[in-house]
Amino acid sequence: LFEAVEKAVSGEGASEAAAEVESFDIKVSDGTYRGVGKGFGGDLVVDVTVAGGKITDIAVVEHADTPFLADPAIDTLVPAILDAQGIVDVYSGATMTSKGLFEAVEKAISGEEGQ
C-alpha cells in the first residue's frame, strides 16, 4: 500500500498509464468524416476532422442521450480524445455515451462511413 501511495505522489505511474491509451488507427486522408455509434438513447453522430494524420476536431452532430448526463460527458471526453489521440477512460455516469462516442470516432476514421 505504501509503495502505491509513493508511486502516486511521485508521479512514477503516470508514464505507465499514458502508455495504456489505445490509439486510434486512422485509415483516412485529411478531411472531415462522419461516424455513428450507439449511445444510451440511440445513435450518436460525429464529424471527425483529420489533418496531418491526426484527429484535429470532433463535432457531435446529434445524439439521443439524456442531455444532463451526456452533454458534460461529451464536453469532457472530446478534448481528452483529441489530446490522447485514442480511447480514454469512460465518463462516470455516462458509460454508454462514452462508448458510443468512441465507436463513432473509430468508424469515422476507418473510412467505412463515407465523407
Question: Cα-atom radius of gyration of the chain, to the nearest Å?
Answer: 16
The highest-level CATH class for domain 23-110 is: alpha beta
| pTM reported for the whole predicted model | 0.79
Distance CA 115, CA 77 (A): 23
How far, in Å, are 6, 7, 66 from residue 2 at the CA level? 6, 9, 41
Phi, psi of 61 (to 5 degrees): -80, -35
Residue 97's nearest CA partner among 79, 61, 72 is: 72
> What are the pLDDT tens digits along the chain (115 aa)?
545 445 444 445 444 444 466 899 999 999 999 999 999 999 999 999 999 999 999 999 999 999 999 999 999 999 999 999 999 999 999 999 999 999 999 999 998 755 4
Hey, where are the domains in the chain?
A: 23-110
